Structure formats: structure tokens, C-alpha cells
């Protein structure tokens, strides 16, 4: 009789941080740590996903997330296929579920999905045999972004608990903020959101965060300052008076950053609107900004997630 080892990640899909336990988060980050070193080495290839097919199905534009998942899959030896809506038959009116059925018939093992509607990724996951990873669904969740942020914080601060983290800007439209509020709260950090009232989601009370409408007050004593992009494409009508006024009140410059702890780090998931939510001088400040490191950690975290899901399915080599 052979013993099947208990998978480190007891899940078939990664649809959100909401489904994870603190132990799951730690298991993913610990595995990702191994890949940070591999990614800096000359030979970056492993073969744990050899023979497996990974489809990156992107219904919404993406540069870094798609590239990051593609590199992650290839470094682990999977065959990776990128499919974006503009080139698929979605534009001919095929539904999400028809696309799911078509792809399923090709026997992919891992499907990475980004979609403009909250909940679309979970719906697709019910219709396919593959493991599904949510790469961002509407305003809902973006779990691998929160995990890569967590890895960046843990490496920089030496821990992922009892930190004061200020998440600033367009929280209402941000799946990054939502996934981060859940993850950082679950790991017992003090989470604040700093935003104009018009850019707060109506259900903000659910997250157990402190709400501020003033940057100076919200950043006071923060260990981590996480800036969010003003998501104009998800806004109908005026949520902010003007970009200039927004920068004046909520844009992160060195003057506002001085309210945070002297060693506070500055994060941004990208893409950035320089001069809108963040001053270029802060974004490019090597002493404070960890934005480049977030991108680096993204590949390591996605390798960890792909591999742990394949292990849970018993398909990893
Ligand atoms: C974020 C996203 O798409 O949710 N970007 C990303 O994944 N790097 C944030 C954003 O679009 O502002």
C-alpha cells in the first residue's frame, strides 16, 4: 500500500485568499522562497510540471500578470499557451461557459483566468477538470497579487504579522485591495485604508480595517504603504474632482510619506499612474520603493502556486 502524502495546499483551485488558511498562506510563501533563489540563478529550469499544459486565459488586458504566469509555468517545465479574448471566438459571441467546455476538451491541467466580472472565474472552475487560478476577476479578488505582496513584505520586514499596513487610494474598484485586506487581516496585521469616501466599497466594514480620509493621519506610524491605481476604466461618472486635486490630497509624495515610519516601504501593484496616485520621485526611490521587487516575487509566488496545485492533484513530477 502506498501512502499518498497530504498535499501542502489542500485545494483544487486558487480562486481567492478567502478560501485559504494562515497555514496555506505560509506554505505558499515558503515554497516561493525556494524559487526566489532559482530565479536569480543562471539555470532557471525545473521539470516538476513537465508534460502538463497550462492555459492563460485573459479576458482583460494584462502585461505583468500574464507575463509572470507564463514565465512561472515555463520555468517549471509546463507547456504554456496564452489565449486572449481579442483573438478568440469570445468576440464572435461564444459564452464563457462554451469557451470553458472547448478548452476542457483539450485536457489542460492548469488554467489561469482573468475576467472583468467578479465571480466569472469561480463559475468557469465548476465547468472544467483543470485546476483554475484566479488572475483577477472584476473587483473581487486577485489572490496571487496579495501573495506576492505578502512575500515582499515578509522578506523586507522579517515577518508578516503585527505590522501596520496602509492601503491607499481607489479601494472601491480594487481586487488587489480586497485580497490584501483579507490576507493581511488573517495574518494579524493592523490594516488601514486611506481613501476619499467616494472610493470606498460599501461593504468596507466587513474587513475589520480602520478607515481614514486623510493621508497624513492614515500613514502615521505605518510600516507599509500600499498605493493603488486610480481605476478610471471601472468608473462611470466622476469619483474624484480632478487628477490634480486627487494627487494633492491622496497622491503619495515624500512629504506625505514622512508621516509613516522612517523605514516604511512603498508598494504598488502596477500599472502606475505617476503624478496621479504616486509621485515619480517616490516610485523610483530605491530607499523606499519595493515595486520592482514585487514583480520579481510575482514569478516566484506563481511558480509556488502552480506547483502546489499540481501536487494536490497528484500531477506534479
Ligand atoms: C492590478 C489588477 O489588474 O488588478 N494589476 C496587476 O495585476 N498587476 C491592479 C490594477 O490594475 O490597478
94-122: pLDDT as tens digits: 788 888 999 999 999 999 999 999 999 99
* Calculated CA dihedral for residues 108, 110, 114, 115, nearest 10 degrees: 50
Cell readout for 304 is 509556488
Pocket flag, ligand 1, residue 229 (CB < 6 Å) = yes
227-269: pLDDT as tens digits: 999 998 877 777 777 889 999 999 999 999 999 999 999 999 9
Cα separation, 222 vs 165, in Å, equals 6
Q: Which of 118, 270, 278 best tests ligand 1's pocket when mutated (most atoms within 8 Å of CB)?
A: 270
271: annotated binding-site residue? yes
Pocket flag, ligand 1, residue 142 (CB < 6 Å) = yes
313: annotated binding-site residue? no
DSSP, residue by residue, 215-278? HHHHHTT-SEEEE----GGG--S-SSS-HHHHHHHH-B-HHHHTTS-TT-EEE--S---BTTTB
For domain 145-289, give the fold: Rossmann fold (3.40.50)
HSE of 270 in the Cβ direction (CA atoms, 13 Å)? 20
pLDDT of residue 5: 66
pLDDT of residue 286: 98
Atom of ligand 1 nearest to the CA of 63: 8
66-94: pLDDT as tens digits: 999 999 999 999 999 999 876 556 656 67
**Which three-class secondary structure state does DSSP give residue 123?**
helix
Pocket flag, ligand 1, residue 270 (CB < 6 Å) = yes
* Calculated CA dihedral for residues 206, 207, 208, 209, nearest 10 degrees: -130
pLDDT of residue 7: 79
Q: Does the pLDDT of residue 129 top 80, yes or no?
A: yes
How far does Cα 275 stand from its chain's mean position? 23
Query: Average pLDDT, whole number, for the chain?
Result: 94
64: annotated binding-site residue? yes
Atom of ligand 1 nearest to the CA of 142: 4
Nearest CA to ligand 1 atom 12: 229
Per the DSSP assignment, residues forming a β-bridge with 81 are 55
Cα separation, 7 vs 81, in Å, equals 26
Pocket flag, ligand 1, residue 7 (CB < 6 Å) = no
Pocket flag, ligand 1, residue 169 (CB < 6 Å) = no
CATH pick for 13-142+296-313 out of 3.30.450.20, 3.40.50.1370, 3.40.50.10440, 3.30.70.20: 3.40.50.1370
pLDDT of residue 84: 86
Ranges in the chain annotated CATH 3.40.50.1370: 13-142+296-313, 145-289
Atom of ligand 1 nearest to the CA of 231: 12
Atom of ligand 1 nearest to the CA of 228: 12
Q: Does the pLDDT of residue 4 top 70, yes or no?
A: no
- Is residue 228 within 8 A of residue 218, CB to CB? The reply is no
pLDDT of residue 158: 98
Cα separation, 286 vs 102, in Å, equals 47
Amino acid at each position: 500500500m502506498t501512502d499518498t502524502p497530504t498535499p501542502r495546499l489542500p485545494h483544487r483551485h486558487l480562486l481567492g485568499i478567502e478560501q485559504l488558511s494562515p497555514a496555506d498562506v505560509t506554505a505558499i510563501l515558503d515554497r516561493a522562497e525556494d524559487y526566489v533563489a532559482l530565479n536569480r540563478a543562471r539555470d532557471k529550469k525545473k521539470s516538476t510540471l513537465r508534460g502538463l499544459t497550462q492555459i492563460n486565459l485573459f479576458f482583460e488586458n494584462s502585461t505583468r500578470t500574464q507575463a509572470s504566469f507564463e514565465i512561472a509555468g515555463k520555468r517549471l517545465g509546463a507547456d504554456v499557451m496564452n489565449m486572449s479574448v481579442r483573438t478568440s471566438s469570445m468576440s464572435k459571441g461564444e459564452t464563457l461557459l462554451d469557451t470553458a467546455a472547448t478548452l476542457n476538451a483539450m485536457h489542460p491541467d492548469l488554467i489561469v483566468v482573468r475576467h472583468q466580472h467578479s465571480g466569472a472565474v469561480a463559475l468557469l472552475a465548476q465547468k472544467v477538470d483543470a485546476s483554475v487560478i484566479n488572475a483577477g476577476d472584476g473587483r473581487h479578488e486577485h489572490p496571487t497579487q496579495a501573495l506576492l505582496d505578502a512575500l515582499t513584505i515578509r522578506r523586507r520586514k522579517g515577518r508578516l504579522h503585527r505590522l501596520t499596513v496602509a492601503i491607499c487610494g481607489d479601494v472601491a474598484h480594487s481586487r488587489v485591495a480586497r485580497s490584501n485586506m483579507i490576507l493581511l487581516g488573517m495574518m494579524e496585521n493592523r490594516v488601514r485604508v486611506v481613501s476619499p469616501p467616494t472610493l470606498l466599497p460599501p461593504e468596507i466594514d466587513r474587513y475589520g480595517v480602520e478607515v481614514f480620509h486623510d493621508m497624513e493621519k492614515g500613514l502615521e506610524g505605518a510600516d507599509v504603504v500600499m498605493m493603488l491605481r486610480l481605476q478610471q476604466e471601472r468608473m462611470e461618472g466622476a469619483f474624484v474632482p480632478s487628477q490634480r486635486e486627487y494627487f494633492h490630497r491622496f497622491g503619495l509624495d515624500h512629504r506625505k510619506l514622512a508621516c509613516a515610519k522612517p523605514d516604511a516601504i512603498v508598494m504598488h501593484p502596477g500599472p502606475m499612474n505617476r503624478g496621479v496616485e504616486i509621485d515619480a520621485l517616490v516610485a523610483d526611490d530605491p530607499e523606499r520603493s519595493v515595486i520592482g521587487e514585487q514583480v520579481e516575487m510575482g514569478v516566484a509566488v506563481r511558480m509556488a502556486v502552480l506547483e502546489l496545485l499540481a501536487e494536490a492533484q497528484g500531477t506534479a513530477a
